Chains A and B, each alone.
Chain A
C-alpha cells in the first residue's frame, strides 16, 4: 500500500512489487460471480442457437439506444471510481468522495433507465414468462440489477469512509475493494448488453 504512495503511478512495478488489487478475498467473490455469469451467457447463446428466429424477433423489441445509454453510464461511473481510488491510494483522499458521489449518480441513472425500459416492456405485456428470450432477459438483467443495487450501497459506504479527515491504510484498501466490486458490475453489464441488445 505505502509503496504506491511513493511512486504514484504504479505502472512500472517490478515483478517483486506486484500486489493483489484490493483485499484478496474479494477476488473469490468476483471470479466466482464472473463464472456464474459466464454460465448465464453460455446458456443464453445455446438457447439462441436452438431458437434463432424467436430470439431475433424478441431481441428487436429491446431499445438498443437505452441499452447503450446504460452502458455509457456504467463505464463512466467506473472511470469516476477509478479516479477516486487512485487519489485514495496516493494519499490524497480529500475530495475523492465527490468522484464517488458522481459515480453513484451514474449508477442511479442506470437504475432509472432500467425502470423506464422495464415499464415499457411490461406495458407491452412482456414478462419473465413471455418466452425464452424474455425469461433470460428479465432473469439475467434482474440479477445484474440486484448487483447494481448492492454496488450503490457499497459506493454510499465508500463516500462516508472517504469523507473522513483521518484515513488508515485499511480504509484505503476498503475503497479499492469496493471499487473492484463496482467494476465487476460494469464488466458483467458490458457482456449482457452485447448479448441481449446487439447480437441479433
Chain B
C-alpha cells in the first residue's frame, strides 16, 4: 500500500462530499421539498427540469461509490491503532462503510423512479418521493456505526495515530447523525426531513465529518511499510496490557 494509494483513498471522502453537493442541487434536493406538500405539488416538482434532475441522479450514484475506498482506509487506520491480530472495530467500520454506500444509492434509485415517468399518477410519485426522502435522511446507523468505531478505536488505541479529540469529535458526530432517525415521526417542524435539526444540522456535520476525516487520513499517511504504526509485531503488542 503505497503512500500514493493511501492519499488517493484519503481524499475520496472529500471528493464524495464535493460531488454530492452539486448533485443534490441539480436533483433539486436542496432545500428539501416539504413533507406536507400535496401529491400534485410533488408531481409538478418531478416534472420540471427533468433532464437536469436525471443527470444529477447519475452523478449522485457515481459519487456514492467514493465512500468505499475512504471507509476502507479508515478501517486500516483502526487496524493500525489496535494491536492484536483481530480488530473487531475495523470490521465494524467496514460494515458501516458498506451501509453508507447503500444509504446513498437506495434513495437515489427511488428518486430515479420518481423522475423516470413524472406524468404518472401523482399518488405514486409522492410515494416514490417519500421512499427517497425518508431513507435519505433517516439512514443514521451507517454514519453512527462508523463514527463510534473510529471513536472507540481512538480511545482504546495501543498505537496512537490520531489525537484523542478526534475520538470525541467522532462520538459526538455519531450522536448528531442519529437526529435524522426521527423524521418518520414528523411531517413538519425541526425534526421533519426538511427540518433545521434533522436535516440542516445533520447535513452540515455530515459534510464536515468527511472533510475532517479526509484531512486526518491524509496527514496520517505513513512512510511505506515498516513504520511503527504498522502491525508488524503482534506478539509484542499482545503483551501490552489494555486499560
Contact = CB atoms under 8 A, between A and B. Distances in A.
Given A36-B176, A39-B196, A129-B185, A25 B201 contact: no
A135 B171 CA distance: 26
A25 B168 contact: yes
Contact of A25 (B163, B182, B190): B163
Interface residues of B, number: 21
Interface in B180-195: 182, 185-186, 189-191
Contacts of B163: 25
A105 interface: no
B7 interface: no
Contacts of B176: 32, 36
Please classify the interface of chain B as helix (H, G, I), strand (E, B), loop, or mixed, using the class held by over half of its residues: helix
Nearest to A128: B185
A43 B197 contact: yes
Q: Is the interface of A mostly helix, strand, loop or mixed?
A: helix
**Which of A25, A129, A132 has most B Cβ within 10 Å?**
A25
Interface of B: 163-169, 171-172, 175-176, 182, 185-186, 189-191, 196-197, 201, 243
Interface of A: 23-26, 28-29, 32-33, 36, 39-40, 43, 128-129, 132, 135, 139, 170
21 contacts: A23-B164, A24-B165, A25-B163, A25-B164, A25-B165, A25-B166, A25-B168, A25-B169, A26-B168, A29-B169, A29-B171, A32-B172, A39-B197, A39-B201, A43-B190, A128-B185, A129-B185, A132-B189, A135-B189, A135-B191, A170-B243
